[in-house]
């Protein structure tokens, strides 16, 4: 993926306002499988999916299916090439799911490691000497997150969640957080402007959903500037839910 055109440095003349421009936002959406994460983002009229796993067949979407990291880099290059033309018609880019996207990055690092250390048996990222594999994978993902954020599009990562043990001084508790562990998971949580945790509960025959954007002992959540309110209840109509959140931005 090519670098965006570098702009000259300009000193500010005063404070800038809160940035609510949609195309400048970075989202991480977490929640249980089947709660409607992909369905939610499919309601955007100008949304492009980078699909890393099956699951979109029941939805009407514009999507590029990615088999590996090279496919991702090629797709990103095509987006950059289309900038400023009629071919660039999207305002939202969704990676579905970030779990498999990270796996693709890991496989790329493993493949490169096998070439570099041809005399060693490299079966996993941990086999690359001196912990370099984990560092390279984290750095690879961080580099491309910066490139994606430079595009005039909101960037969305859809992820799975896990219950993890959290130790804090003398207490230990379970927290629902991103399934990706280690520094990679921490990096992804820090990257987002808005971490939307979607909680679904069955009430009779109906699935009731809430959007949490404040972190707690139970779950992740974040919305810089408090733009997305905590505890929003979702309607049964996913299009209505999308419009509610999209309407919070310009």
212-223 residue pLDDT tens: 999 999 999 999
**Record: fold of 22-246:** Rossmann fold (3.40.50)
- Whether pLDDT at 4 is above 60: no
pLDDT of residue 165: 87
CB 248 within 8 A of CB 50: no
117-155 residue pLDDT tens: 999 999 999 999 998 999 999 999 999 999 999 999 999
152-209 residue pLDDT tens: 999 999 999 999 988 877 888 899 999 999 999 999 999 999 999 999 998 898 899 9
CB 159 within 8 A of CB 99: yes
pLDDT band of 3, cuts 50, 70, 90: low
pLDDT of residue 15: 94
192 vs 81: CA distance, rounded Å: 25
189 vs 222: CA distance, rounded Å: 9
49-98 residue pLDDT tens: 999 999 899 999 999 999 999 999 999 999 999 999 999 999 999 999 99
CB 197 within 8 A of CB 220: yes
pLDDT of residue 8: 85
SS (H, E, C) 188-201: HHHHCCEEEEEEEE
């Amino acid at each position: 993926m090519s670098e965006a055109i570098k702009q000259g440095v300009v000193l500010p003349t005063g404070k800038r306002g809160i940035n609510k421009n949609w195309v400048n936002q970075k989202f991480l959406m977490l929640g249980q499988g089947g709660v409607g994460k992909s369905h939610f983002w499919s309601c955007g009229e100008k949304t492009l999916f980078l699909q890393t796993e099956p699951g979109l067949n029941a939805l009407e979407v514009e999507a590029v299916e990615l088999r590996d990291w090279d496919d991702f880099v090629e797709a990103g290059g095509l987006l950059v090439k289309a900038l400023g033309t009629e071919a660039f018609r999207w305002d939202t880019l969704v990676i579905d799911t970030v779990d498999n996207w990270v796996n693709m990055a890991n496989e790329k690092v493993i493949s490169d490691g096998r070439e570099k250390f041809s005399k060693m048996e490299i079966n996993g990222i941990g086999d690359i000497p001196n912990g370099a594999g984990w560092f390279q994978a984290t750095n690879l993902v961080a580099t491309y997150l910066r490139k994606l954020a430079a595009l005039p599009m909101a960037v969305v990562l859809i992820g799975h969640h896990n219950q993890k043990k959290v130790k804090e001084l003398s207490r230990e508790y379970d927290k629902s957080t991103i399934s990706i562990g280690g520094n990679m998971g921490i990096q992804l949580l820090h990257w987002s402007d808005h971490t939307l945790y979607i909680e679904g509960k069955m009430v009779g025959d109906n699935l009731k959903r809430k959007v949490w954007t404040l972190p707690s002992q139970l779950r992740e959540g974040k919305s810089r500037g408090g733009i997305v309110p905590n505890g929003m209840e979702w309607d049964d109509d996913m299009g209505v839910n999308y419009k509610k959140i999209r309407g919070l931005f310009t």
